[in-house]
Amino acid sequence: MRTTVPDRPTGQLSDAWRLCVGTGRLELALRRDYQDSLELIQREIGFRYIRGHGLLSDGMGVHRPYEYQGERRVRHSFTYVDQVIDAYLRLGVQPFLELGFMPSGLASGDRTVFWWLGNITPPKDWNEWAALVRALVAHLIDRYGLEQVRQWPIEVWNEPNLKEFWADADQDAYHRLYEVTANTVKEVDASLQVGGPALAPGADPEWLVRFADFAAARSAPVDFVSRHAYTTGPAQHVPFGVHQTLAPASRLLEQFAAPREELKGTALADLPVHITEFNSSYRPDNPIHDTAFHAAYLAPVLAAGGELVDSFSYWTFSDMFEEVGVPTSLFHGGFGLLTHRQIKKPTYHLYAFMARMGDQVLASGADHLVTRHHDGRTTVLAWAPVDPTGREPVLSHTVQLSLPVAEASGDDCAAVYVQRSSVSEEAGNAWAAWNEMGRPASPRARQLDALREAAEPARSHRSLPVHGGRVDCDITLGLHEVTLLEITPVRDETPPWWDEARLYGGNA
C-alpha cells in the first residue's frame, strides 16, 4: 500500500540525534588516528558535542601533588587538557565534560575500572577535590572564554549506580560528590550548566527520585538530567570478544523515555534530558557493532529518538578505545562508527544519511522518514525491519510512497532526479568484505584501500516523472538495508538542438 506523504511539514527534525557523540577516554584524543576519524565524522556528520571518560585520570596529568619546603602542594596542569580541547574546537565539536575519574593522588582507595585503570573511589580530601574542579573550570574560562564554556554541559561522574564505576555504588556518597562539585562549578560562574547522574540502565526506578529529593533538600544546582541506554543481555565470552542477545531497538526508546517518567512530580521534572551514552551492546568487543544489521536496527531509533529526549549520544565514534585493552584485530566488535584507519561501518552511513536529511519533517513511519530541505529537495530515509535474534531475517521489504514535489522557483517541473545511496549485507559493508578477505587482523595498505572502497554505499540515480505535483517512489530493500533517496526537482536546460539519436553521428 502506497503511503501518501503530506504536502506540508508536520514539524522540525530534532537534532537530538547528532547533539552529542561518545568517545574513548579523553587522553586518546591526543592521537592522530582519533583526530583523523573525528575530522572525517565532523565533515560528513557534524556532531555538536563529544563526551568521554577520564578527563581527570592520571593519563591527562591534571592533578600533580608535590612537596615544596616540606609541605604538600598541588599543581593543576592543563598541558593535555588544552591539547584535547584545542583539537575538539578545531574540529568543530565542543566538549560535553564528564568530571571523573579520581586522580590517584587524590583517591581514597585503589579500586579501578578498565584496562587503563580509572580510579573509582571518592576523593580523600573534599577540599582538594573542590580545588581541582575550580581550577579546571576557571582555567577553561580563562583560555576559551566564558561565552564558550557556558555552552559546555558539565556532568558529574559516570554511572554511579554501578559498583564498577563508583565504589560500592554508594548513592549517598555520589550525592555528596555531586553537591560539592556542582556548587564549586556554580561558584566559578553561575551560568555554567551542571548535571548528572549519568545513570546506567538497570537502576532502581527510585534512584532518580532519590537524586531529585537530595537536590531539592540540599538546593544542589541541577541543569540537566542524564542516563544511559543499552539493549544487550549478558556477555558470553570468547577470546577477544563476546556474544550477547539483543532486545528489540524499541527498548532503547523506552529507556530514553524513562527519566521524564520517573521524575514526574519532582523538582527536576522539566529539565533537559540527555542520554549521554547509548548503543545496542555495552561491550567494545561485540561484532554486532560492525554489521549492516546494526545500522538497520538503529535506524528507527535515530528517526524517532528526538521526540523523547534532548540528545542521545552514540557510544562511540571510533574504535580507538581501550577499555578492554588494545584491539587485536582491525574489526573486533568495537563501538566505533569508524574502525582504526577510518574504515566506515554501516552505522556510520546511517548517521551520514541522517546528516543529509532536511530540517522539515513531512512524514515519519515504521520504515521511513521523509524530510524537505529549504531549497525544495525531498529526502527519504528508509530501512528494512530486522529480527534482533537473527532467526527470521527479512530478505526483502518494500516501501511505497507518493511524494509531493516542492515547486522550484515557480517552474513547472516534469521530472525529479533521484539519487539513491544504500548500505546492506551487500553494499557499503566493509565488515562483509573483511570476512571474505579472510579476516586479516592487520590488513596491509592495499587491503585497507580495498576495504575503504568496499565501505562506500552503493549509489544509483534515475529520473522519475512528476504527475500532478507528485512522484511515486517504490523502494525495495534487501536484508538489513538502509537507504537514502535524495530527490531534486529537475529544471530542464536541454537546448532545442539536442538529439540523442545523433550521438553516434547520424544526421538530424
* Interface with a copy of itself in residues 310-339 (CB under 8 A): 325-330
Q: Could you tell me the smallest distance in angstroms from the CB atom of residue 452 to a copy of itself?
A: 10
Q: Which of 27, 179, 262, 277 is catalytic?
A: 277
* 198-237 positions binding a copy of itself, by CB under 8 A: 232-233, 236
322 is catalytic: no
What do you get for the CA distance between the two ends of the chain, in Å?
45
Q: Could you tell me the smallest distance in angstroms from the CB atom of residue 381 to a copy of itself?
A: 17
Helix (H) or strand (E) holding 127: helix 126-144
Under rule CB under 8 A, residue 33 binds a copy of itself: yes
Closest CA to 475 of 368, 373, 348: 368
Under rule CB under 8 A, residue 342 binds a copy of itself: no
The answer to whether 298 and 253 have CB atoms below 8 angstroms apart is no
Q: Which of 159, 179, 425, 481 is catalytic?
A: 159
Nearer to a copy of itself, 59 or 365 (CB): 59
- How far is 368 from 483, CA to CA, in rounded Å? 9
* 162-191 positions binding a copy of itself, by CB under 8 A: none
* 419-478 positions binding a copy of itself, by CB under 8 A: 419, 421, 426-427, 432-433, 436-442, 444-446, 450, 453-454, 456, 458-463
- How far is 451 from 447, CA to CA, in rounded Å? 6
500 is catalytic: no
Q: Read off the C-alpha cell for 231.
A: 539493549
Q: Could you tell me the smallest distance in angstroms from the CB atom of residue 419 to a copy of itself?
A: 5
Nearer to a copy of itself, 270 or 453 (CB): 453
Q: How many residues does the chain have?
A: 508
- How far is 171 from 65, CA to CA, in rounded Å? 29
- Which of 8, 71, 265, 497 touches a copy of itself by CB under 8 A? 497
* 286-305 positions binding a copy of itself, by CB under 8 A: 287-288, 291, 293
- How far is 202 from 208, CA to CA, in rounded Å? 12
Q: Could you tell me the smallest distance in angstroms from the CB atom of residue 245 to a copy of itself?
A: 3
The answer to whether 80 and 30 have CB atoms below 8 angstroms apart is yes
- How far is 157 from 200, CA to CA, in rounded Å? 12
- Which of 70, 147, 410, 498 touches a copy of itself by CB under 8 A? 498
- How far is 153 from 224, CA to CA, in rounded Å? 8
Alpha-carbon distances of 352 from 296, 338, 448, 502, rounded to whole Å: 14, 12, 21, 41
- How far is 130 from 496, CA to CA, in rounded Å? 76
* 232-271 positions binding a copy of itself, by CB under 8 A: 232-233, 236, 238-241, 243-246
Under rule CB under 8 A, residue 396 binds a copy of itself: no
* 120-139 positions binding a copy of itself, by CB under 8 A: 139
Instruction: Report helix, strand or coil for 194.
Output: strand
Total binding residues toward a copy of itself, as defined by CB under 8 A: 99
Just list the catalytic residues.
Answer: 159, 277
